[in-house]
Structure 1
């Protein structure tokens, strides 16, 4: 089979295609014939920053081609999606049953990777913000694979106003098209209407401005891999709070909640209330181009590999 890997850290140019044996599923694992892979910013960052090369994992969708020992509830031929922690940029991948969920009829593999993992992060971060009806929501990286779903979900959860923050004003029409009332750029001195809560996917140097954009008693949920520092005074002066959110811990510690969120996302998708957008689909051999699109923050919606 084909697989994408890299030998040393760097930009998209370090990715290369290689031949590798088809893996054998272990206990509790599914062998999935991969039809789509979601490209995420954390994986792109790891390629550039990790001290040692790591398997390129992430969200995959495809058809079950084999079952490991102790697998129940799945059969060869089932269409599934889930998060792979080993090699996912490949023709075949190993998916733990605890991370797998069925892809319903009427949804494609591309729909699945554009909706499920990004949607789970967006939905979970939104729940962590404890939104109340009528509040103003601020979503950073609002044109990203997660961000454009967070904009929609904030509206569905009753936000009275949704502000999308983006790196480039050229993204404004897209963000308004998925439901934002107002779009601001990171370099603007004013980030628009003070927000009751912020879902922050950027971090780094933008974490401080995001906190300062909150109204008194505002809540920021940080789910970025970009780090960042918050000044205690910025929290104290407005009685604001910051909460960290990581999807992996939800899946690990509260699997029933994780599954309930997945069911809700598919329900909203089937009802036409939640519309995942795909920026582009790239062949496996074009993984470098896919990483470039994400790293440059040029994407409007999800970037997908289609082996």
Structure 2
């Protein structure tokens, strides 16, 4: 099978194609013939910043071809989507069955990788903030796959003012179409605040201005992989809260909630209240180009690899 490998000479140009043996599903796993692979920011960052070879992770959607010991929820022929933590950039991938979900009839694999994982993170971050009717919500990285869905969830959830924060003005029309009332740039001085709730998928150096944009009693939900440091004093003077959100904790600790959110994402998509945004479908062999799109912050929605 075709598989992409990372060579240790730095950057997305170090992604090379190779022939490899088809993997085998272990206990609690399913082997999937991939039809679409979602490129994630954490994986792109690992390639750029890591000192050693990176095993590519990402969302995978496709058809189950084999199941491992103990798997009863899926059988060969089922269409599923889920997270692959190693060697996701391949024609066949192994998924943890507990973190996989069925793809309904009528939905494409590309829709599945654009909706499910990103939608679960967006929904979880929004729920963690406990947004009350009429409150103001700022979404950073609003043109990303997660951000684009978070905007729609906030707009449909009763927020009084939904603001999108993006890296460049050419993304403004895109985020406004998804429900943003206003658009601010990372470079803006005051970010148009204060905000009752901020959903942050960027982190890093952006955390300082993000915290300073919080209203008194505001809540910041950090769900990205960018790290960063928050000054406790900045939270103290605002009486504000910092909440960390991780989807894996919900998937393994609250499987009932995880399954319900999955169903509701597809229901919202079917009702037309939640739209997926796919920036580009890129051939698997051109994975380096997909990484470059994300590194350069050019994507509007999800970047998807197609075997």
Instruction: Specify if TM > 0.5.
Output: yes
Match of 1:18 in 2: 18
Q: TM-score, normalised by structure 1?
A: 0.98
Unaligned runs of 5+ in 1: none
Match of 2:301 in 1: 301
Match of 2:74 in 1: 74
Give the drift of 1:57: 1.3
Whole-Å separation in 2 of the counterparts to 1:113 and 1:65: 19
SS in 1 for 2:145: coil
Match of 2:43 in 1: 43
Match of 1:52 in 2: 52
Match of 1:109 in 2: 109
Match of 1:261 in 2: 261
Mapping of residues 174-189 of structure 1, within 5 Å? 174-189=174-189
Whole-Å separation in 2 of the counterparts to 1:73 and 1:301: 30
Give the drift of 1:73: 2.3
| Runs of 4+ more than 4 Å apart | none
Match of 1:165 in 2: 165
Match of 1:222 in 2: 222
Residue by residue, what CA displacement relative to the aligned partner does 1:61-89 show, whole Å, maximum 9, x if unpaired? 00111122222121211110001112111
Q: Once structures 1 and 2 are overlaid, which stretch shifts more, 184-193 or 286-295?
A: 184-193
SS in 2 for 1:146: helix
Match of 1:235 in 2: 235
Alignment of 1:211 onto 2:238: no
Q: What value does the CA root-mean-square deviation take over the aligned residues?
A: 1.0
Q: 1:232 and 1:69, CA in 2 relative to 1: closer, same or farther beyond 3 A?
A: closer
Give the drift of 1:9: 5.8
Unaligned runs of 5+ in 2: none
Length, aligned pairs only: 307
Whole-Å separation in 1 of the counterparts to 2:25 and 2:305: 22
Match of 2:99 in 1: 99
Q: Once structures 1 and 2 are overlaid, which stretch shifts more, 203-212 or 229-238?
A: 229-238
Cα pair 1:139 1:198 within 8 Å, conserved: yes
Q: Once structures 1 and 2 are overlaid, which stretch shifts more, 196-205 or 66-75?
A: 66-75
Q: Once structures 1 and 2 are overlaid, which stretch shifts more, 187-196 or 272-281?
A: 187-196
Q: Once structures 1 and 2 are overlaid, which stretch shifts more, 45-54 or 153-162?
A: 45-54
SS in 2 for 1:219: strand
Match of 2:134 in 1: 134
